[in-house]
Amino acid sequence: MKYLVNIYNKQRLVKIADLKLKEIISYVLEDELAPRTMGMNIMLVRDPVIRRYHRDFMGIDTPTDCISFPPEDLEEVNVLEPACGDVVLSVDHALDYALKNDVLFPEEIVRYAIHGTLHCLGYDDLSAKDRRSMFAKQEKYIAVWHSNFYTTK
């Protein structure tokens, strides 16, 4: 892997080793031409934890699927803290969505990680045009994950 990707598993609902999160996020960073000295921090949590993050950092007292924290100024990120940003994602939301929409649960977790990473790299989804562009890019990376990293056992 060419990029440092830290995975912090703060839940027990899903085994993350099988998801190949480090590999796909490293691929996204490389494909998006992120500086080599940067990486990502991904934290998997349950709804009560992401609800606290959502409340404390965004003033919204509900759980959500994924929250991204891009660095304030990418030029000031140093090699000792090699992060394009941090992503916190809810495994509860991923499971709920997967069950209701006939999507693979692991795929939905990876989708959230990719989505948050794209936000940290400067992509936005507030306007319809930006949302279409970002979601197309996100689904492109999901296809890469399916074909190169995901295996069913």
pLDDT tens-digit profile of 11-52? 988 777 767 999 999 999 999 998 877 789 999 999 999 999
pLDDT value of residue 80: 40
Distance CA 112, CA 94 (A): 8
Count CB atoms within 10 A of the CB of residue 81. Answer: 12
Where do the structural domains in the chain lie, given as residue ranges?
5-148
Regarding beta strands 66-69 and 85-90, do their DSSP bridges make them parallel or antiparallel, or are they unpaired? antiparallel
pLDDT < 50 stretches in the chain: 73-80
Strands 85-90 and 5-9: unpaired
Q: What is the pLDDT of residue 72?
A: 63
Please give the CATH architecture assigned to the domain spanning 5-148.
3-Layer(aba) Sandwich (3.40)
